[in-house]
């Protein structure tokens, strides 16, 4: 067999790690549904021209073509780099069958041709939730998304987090008030402030003068956990109707967050821009405290013009959780684990190979009641079968006695008791693997 060449940027988790990921996905699904979102799935590929119509991401998109493709097939399809653009297409195609405002969540793989590094992958799992309207979508939905983010990370319980909120209208209105034409260029520069700090000043468009740059940098450094950001922006002496509109929307979102989200987790941060051009209003980024260098693990915002069929416009607001990015931190630093490394709750011991058919029938009976069961792979001595269960972290071993009665052994405590196949249930905590937090248990 030829030597396998590893591919970087395409994570493949070991079984125990995959169980951690599945537990996280269960929390995400439950939280999305508690907030009224319905699940959908879109195709993996989209037309290239559709994917590239918004934002500067063309260098990162993976094209798809048949190996034996002719010229007519070239460069027509590409793997989606996020869920929002495919979702906009889905809405346009199915608008007549949907009820608006439409609330959907979507947990799927996405692909970007980024340079692989810790927490950044070429293939990654995202969990998105969006609310989309027909014609209009009130801004109170922007605040609902903040509460959704806060609920997700509170339920995941993987550490302290901060949700940073801004409004693109604030930044764009401010830049227009300064007389700057290339507002998109300024936004793209400011979007890098977390990575390169004050050096973003050097990347501002050439038209920006020193006095304008001073005010742009001053705006980007405003961060408050209350409503005082409005006064601080106005104190910079810049005026524009779009700026006023953005401040009003941001104040409304922050008012809801202050009243309903856990104290101190939401921050008005006027440096948040989001690099994709389809965002038009509120924008969000979420960071895990202590892992700021990882960047945002949950981001999104308002997009008023992404989906339109020429007659109707479908504005939306949503957020994306970078599941693979979160996993990278949890696994590297031992922040999350599972209570056991396999789904199996019970190992059925086999005393004789002639009894294997009866053992499989018993396993089916237990499984019908929601108990995960594995039949022992061999009829070795019971001591060896118990050791097999211990290595696999299976908590219970089931024995069928010669007289047809049954006993079950908890191999952690050594307790062995009589059991009725029709009624026996393990403790709720042992029924299936659960997410655990070693960093808390060891503190």
Q: Are 413 and 425 in contact (CB under 8 A)?
A: no
Separation CA 172–CA 192 (nearest Å): 16
The pairing of beta strand 396-400 with beta strand 346-348: parallel
What is the chain's pLDDT, residue by residue, as a tens digit (443 residues)? 568 888 899 999 999 999 999 999 999 999 999 999 999 999 999 998 888 775 555 668 888 888 777 766 656 889 998 898 899 999 999 999 999 999 999 999 999 988 888 888 999 999 999 999 999 999 999 999 999 999 999 999 888 999 999 999 999 999 999 999 888 888 888 888 878 888 888 888 888 888 898 999 999 999 999 999 999 999 999 999 999 999 999 999 999 999 999 999 999 999 998 766 778 999 999 998 888 777 889 999 999 987 888 889 999 999 999 999 899 988 988 889 999 999 999 999 999 999 999 999 999 999 999 999 999 999 999 999 999 999 999 999 999 998 999 999 999 999 999 999 999 999 999 999 999 887 665 55
From residue 9, alpha-carbon distances to 84, 200, 343, 420, 421 in Å are 22, 28, 28, 49, 47
Rounded Cα–Cα distance for residues 348 and 373 (Å): 7
Question: What's the CA gap between 202 and 204, in Å, rounded?
Answer: 6
Question: Has 90 been labeled as part of a binding site?
Answer: no
Alpha-carbon distance 41 to 104, whole Å? Answer: 10
- Is 75 annotated in some ligand binding site? no
Helix (H) or strand (E) holding 318: strand 313-322
Q: Contact 246/269 with Cβ under 8 angstroms?
A: no
DSSP code of residue 120: B
d(CA 165, CA 223): 10
> Is 314 labeled as ligand-binding?
no
237 Cβ neighbours under 8 A, 6+ residues apart: none
Give the pLDDT confidence score for residue 71 in this predicted structure. 65
Least Cα distance to 178 among 117, 125, 243 occurs for 243
- Alpha-carbon separation of residue 127 from 26, 380, 399 (angstroms): 11, 45, 43
Determine the Cα–Cα distance for residues 295 and 316; give it in Å rounded to an integer: 24
Question: d(Cα 31, Cα 246) in Å, to the nearest integer?
Answer: 29
Helices and strands in the chain, H and E counts = 15, 19
Both structure tokens of 110 = 């996405």
Give the pLDDT confidence score for residue 73 in this predicted structure. 60
Report whether 254 belongs to an annotated binding site.
no
**Other residues' Cβ atoms within 10 Å of the Cβ of residue 306:** 24
Of the candidates 233, 283, 37, the residue with the CA atom closest to the CA atom of residue 148: 37
Cα–Cα separations (whole angstroms), residue 116 to 56, 81, 332, 438? 19, 15, 16, 28
Domains located in the chain, CATH noted = 15-44+86-338 (3.30.930.10), 346-441 (3.40.50.800)
Q: SS3 for 282?
A: strand
Tell me: is residue 82 an annotated ligand-binding position: yes
Residues with Cβ within 8 Å of residue 100, at least 6 apart in sequence: 132, 133, 134, 314
- Look at residue 68 in the predicted model and tell me its pLDDT: 74
DSSP E strand stretches across 187-258: 223-224
Q: Binding residue per annotation — 274?
A: yes
Residue 112, marked binder: yes
Q: Which pLDDT belongs to residue 289?
A: 86
Helix-strand-coil split of the chain, %, nearest 5: 40, 20, 40
Contacts of 224 (CB under 8 A, 6+ apart): 232, 267, 268
For residue 201, give the nearest of 193, 366, 399, 338 by alpha carbon: 193
């Amino acid at each position: 067999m030829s030597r396998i060449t590893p591919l970087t940027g395409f994570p493949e988790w070991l079984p125990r790690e995959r169980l951690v990921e599945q537990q996280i996905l269960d929390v995400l699904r439950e939280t999305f549904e508690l907030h009224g979102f319905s699940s959908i799935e879109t195709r993996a590929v989209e037309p290239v021209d559709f994917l590239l119509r918004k934002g500067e991401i063309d260098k990162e998109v993976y094209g798809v073509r048949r190996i034996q493709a002719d010229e007519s097939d070239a460069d027509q399809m590409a793997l989606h780099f996020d869920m929002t653009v495919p979702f906009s297409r889905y809405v346009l195609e199915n608008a007549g069958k949907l009820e608006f405002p439409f609330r959907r969540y979507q947990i799927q793989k996405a692909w970007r041709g980024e340079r692989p590094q810790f927490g950044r992958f070429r293939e990654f799992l995202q969990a998105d939730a969006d609310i989309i309207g027909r014609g209009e979508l009130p801004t109170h939905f922007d605040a609902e998304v903040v509460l959704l983010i806060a609920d997700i990370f509170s339920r995941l319980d993987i550490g302290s987090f901060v949700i940073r909120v801004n409004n693109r209208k604030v930044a764009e209105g401010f830049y227009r008030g300064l007389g700057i034409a290339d507002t998109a260029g300024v936004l793209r520069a400011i979007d890098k402030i977390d990575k390169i700090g004050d050096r973003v000043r050097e990347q501002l468009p050439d038209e920006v003068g020193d006095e304008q740059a001073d005010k742009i940098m001053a705006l980007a450094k405003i961060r408050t956990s209350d409503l005082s950001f409005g006064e601080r922006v106005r104190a910079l002496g810049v005026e524009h109707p779009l700026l006023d509109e953005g401040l009003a929307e941001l104040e409304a979102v922050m008012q809801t967050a202050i009243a309903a989200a856990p104290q101190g987790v939401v921050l008005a941060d006027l440096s948040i821009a989001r690099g994709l051009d389809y965002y038009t209003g509120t924008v969000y980024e979420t960071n895990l405290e202590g892992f700021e260098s990882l960047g945002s693990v949950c981001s999104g915002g308002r997009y008023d013009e992404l989906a339109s069929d020429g007659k109707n416009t479908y504005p939306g607001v949503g957020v994306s959780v970078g599941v693979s990015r979160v996993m990278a931190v949890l696994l590297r630093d031992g922040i999350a684990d599972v209570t056991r490394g396999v789904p199996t709750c019970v190992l059925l011991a086999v005393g004789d190979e002639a009894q294997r058919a009866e053992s499989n029938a018993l396993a089916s009976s237990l499984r019908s009641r929601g108990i995960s069961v594995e039949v022992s792979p061999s009829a070795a001595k019971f001591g060896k079968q118990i050791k097999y269960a211990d290595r696999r972290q299976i908590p219970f071993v089931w024995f069928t006695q010669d007289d047809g009665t049954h006993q079950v052994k908890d191999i952690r405590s050594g307790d062995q008791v009589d059991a009725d196949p029709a009624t026996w249930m393990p403790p709720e905590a042992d029924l299936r693997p659960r997410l655990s937090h070693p960093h808390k248990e060891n503190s």
